[in-house]
Structure 1
Amino acid sequence: MATLQAGDHVPDFTLRDQYNNPFSMKDHRGDKIVLYFYPKDESAVCTKEACAFRDSFQEFMDKGILVIGINAGSSASHKAFAEKNRLPFTLLSDPGNKVLKAFGIQPWLFLTGRETFLIDEQGKVEYTYRAFLKGDAHPQKVLAFLQGQ
């Protein structure tokens, strides 16, 4: 499957967050969302990426945009990762990478891909950014795209 691109509708899904609460994409129609896929809690690049989203979080909030991270880690792992790094946003557990696969995200070597999607209020992809080794660039690229609109 090809990776979702601008103009594509995102699939509906329901996953558990770091507090084990359900998060359903269909419940967030009408919200603008940054959804970023990352390989692993606590890895160096993933931690830099999460902290970059944390440091830019207020800018996203000021624009009315939800920030959500997602990978195959457990809710408990996400909770520990969020607490340790003071992450103010939602982290979703995607067992078996079912949602990652539905988005068509391609692996990098032997790891799952790292890709960020800006999703509009109708559930369509507005912008994507993929850079595996530059996790901390993801929030800045999305914000630059938003400023250029």
Structure 2
Amino acid sequence: MRSWNIAHAVEGLRDIALDGTLAFTSAGRMAARAGGRARHPEAAIATVVRRHANGVAVGGFLTGLGGFLTLLVALPVNVVEFHLQAIRMVGAIARLRGYDLTDERVRTAVLLSVAGDDSHAILRQAGLGLGGISGRLTDQLTGRMPPGP
């Protein structure tokens, strides 16, 4: 039996956001919808970002409806929902830029971009810091990120 840990949870969120489920549209489908209606990739990206902002606003509003009584359940749900939408948005933008969302390197880059400034700390906590041997390993990992299309 596989034990649960945070890495499996993050990979699960990533897979749901990028690949979709019955109730959650995939990043590729979101990109296809936005790209089909736009004349330029930048316009499609603006559509994806706008939809993301609207979705997060609705999620935040719904989280607040229950007030203090539902806060213990609603807040973690809202945090997970926000991250799902953020990963999907970044994945859709990557797809619109021509990246293959099935490539594990792209999937890792999407997660690191969602982590933002914390990605440096995440790599360091994973033993991939910037000094010595681990710094070279980090350079190799980032060097394996997919080149621009």
- When the two structures are superposed, what TM-score results if normalisation uses the length of structure 1? 0.27
Q: Which structure has the larger Rg over C-alpha atoms?
A: 2
- When the two structures are superposed, what TM-score results if normalisation uses the length of structure 2? 0.27
Would you tell me which structure has more strand in proportion to its own residues? 1
Name which structure has the greater RCO, CA cutoff 8 Å, separation 6+: 1
